[in-house]
Amino acid sequence: MLAELIWWARRKRTAFLGVKHVSADGALEDHPHDFEMPDFIAGEEVRLRRLEKQRLAGDLARPTKSATSRSTEVVAQRLTQPQKVIDAAAELRKANTQAELCRIQRRLADVESASSDAKAGLGPKLLHVNKWVKAQAEEQR
């Protein structure tokens, strides 16, 4: 909780009224001034920043177990469904800012680099892919 308070304080106006420790007998003690923050708490800020960036980019997804995604039942179920088609040009036109454009290009490059699944009929098929997305997909391979 303290790490999150520090993290928010660096981003926005935050009132921090001080820290009091409660001892075993219930007495309040002031926080020592020469106390250094442990590494695992100081690293929490970096983790929270990364998590927020992933959330804003829409990349935050729950990890899936490989056994469930590669089982024969799942593969058979995917093959019976129609293949998803993504129009890359239309997706790129949806971008309003340069940052959104970069995110969309990265996402499309991820899909393009995993195109072996698309050829097998398991993954989405990309249409109207430009040379920049293809080049970025080649870098990822």
Q: What predicted TM-score, i.e. pTM, was given to this entire model?
A: 0.44
Domain co-membership, 51 together with 87 = no
Distance CA 17, CA 37 (A): 18
Q: Do the domain assignments include residue 23?
A: no
Q: Do the domain assignments include residue 76?
A: no
The residue written with tokens 């593969």 in the block is 75
Domain count along the chain: 2
Render pLDDT for 61-81 as a digit per residue (tens, 0 to 9): 666 666 666 678 877 887 788
Maximal CA-CA distance, the chain: 70
Q: Do the domain assignments include residue 90?
A: yes
Q: Do the domain assignments include residue 44?
A: yes
Q: Do the domain assignments include residue 19?
A: no
Confidence of residue 29 (pLDDT cuts 50, 70, 90): confident
Q: Which two tokens mark 5?
A: 């308070």
Q: Which domain covers residue 128, as residue numbers? A: 83-140
Distance CA 50, CA 59 (A): 11
Confidence of residue 8 (pLDDT cuts 50, 70, 90): confident
Choice between 69 and 10, residue whose per-residue pLDDT is larger: 10
